[in-house]
Amino acid sequence: MSVHPISSFDVPDFEGLPTDIRERIEAVREKTGFVPNVFLALARRPDEFRAFFAYYDALMAREGELSKAEKEMIVVATSAANQCAYCVVAHGALLRLFSKNPLLGDQVAVNYRKADLTPRQRAMLDAALKLARAPEAFGQEDIEGLLAHGFSREDVWDIGAITALFALSNRVAQMTDMRPNEEFYSLGRMPR
């Protein structure tokens, strides 16, 4: 177990948390085998915790045309531009798992322009990065660029909204110095 705190803000005792939050955390522990630190770091503000994970579920668990791996590409690439340690490490692991490609997490984190992506995925990330880092310049021409690559308008919304949610998430993680669980660093990597 790490001697580093998982957040620079205090983390509440699990036992004192509201029932719904404890249940959510137990569910993720059962599924994943450990509790990702974001659940513990956000639990000190139950209403914000509930809103965050409701937003997360609404976008990341939504059935649409973007694959789970593609959604994680957006998360990893935009979080890398914001240099968000928690999001890059945790979602890099998810990207490896969902893509079944042990290299893709690091590739997208370091420089998505050089990653093993399709031109369509590259266009998706170009738009996401623009919205993430220069939202003032994002415009209808960027949306038309996505449509030209075969994305539907619902896909465009997903791409933009996931980018927006992690613009929020990156800033909360940065504000709290949120620390990724050690498990995430090696999840989904190739056997040595």
Residues that bind a copy of itself (rule: CB under 8 A) add up to a total of: 68
Q: Tell me the C-alpha distance between 188 and 191, whole Å.
A: 9
Site string for a copy of itself, 115-134 (x = CB under 8 A): xx--------------xx--
Write phi, then psi, for 143 (nearest 5 degrees).
Answer: -65, -45
Distance from CA of residue 100 to its chain's centroid?
Answer: 17
CA torsion, points 14, 16, 21, 23, in degrees to nearest 10?
A: 70
Could you say which of 43, 73, 121, 160 contacts a copy of itself (CB under 8 A)? 160
User: Residue 8 to residues 19, 40, 42, 152: CA-CA distances in angstroms?
Assistant: 24, 12, 12, 41
In this structure, what token pair is assigned to residue 110? 């370091």
Smallest separation (angstroms) from a copy of itself to the CB of 36: 16
Whether 146 and 127 have beta carbons less than 8 Å apart is answered as yes
For a copy of itself, the closer of residues 70 and 158 by Cβ is 158
Comparing C-alpha atoms, which of 187, 6, 32, 36 is closest to residue 105? Answer: 187
Q: Work out how close the CB of 154 gets to a copy of itself at its nearest, in angstroms, rounded to a whole number.
A: 9
- The residue type found at 161 is A
Residue 168 binds a copy of itself (CB under 8 A): yes
- Considering only 80, 95, 117, 124, the residue that binds a copy of itself (CB under 8 A) is 80
**Is residue 20 within the footprint of a copy of itself (CB under 8 A)?**
no
Tell whether residue 113 is a contact of a copy of itself (CB under 8 A): yes
In the set 51, 67, 118, 120, which binds a copy of itself (CB under 8 A)? 51
SS (H, E, C) 146-166: HHHCCCCHHHHHHHHHHHHHH
Residues near a copy of itself, by CB under 8 A: 4, 8-9, 45, 47-48, 50-52, 54-55, 57-59, 62, 80, 82-85, 88-89, 92, 102-103, 106-107, 109-111, 113-116, 131-132, 135-140, 143, 153, 156-157, 160-161, 163-165, 167-172, 174-177, 182, 185-187, 189-190, 192
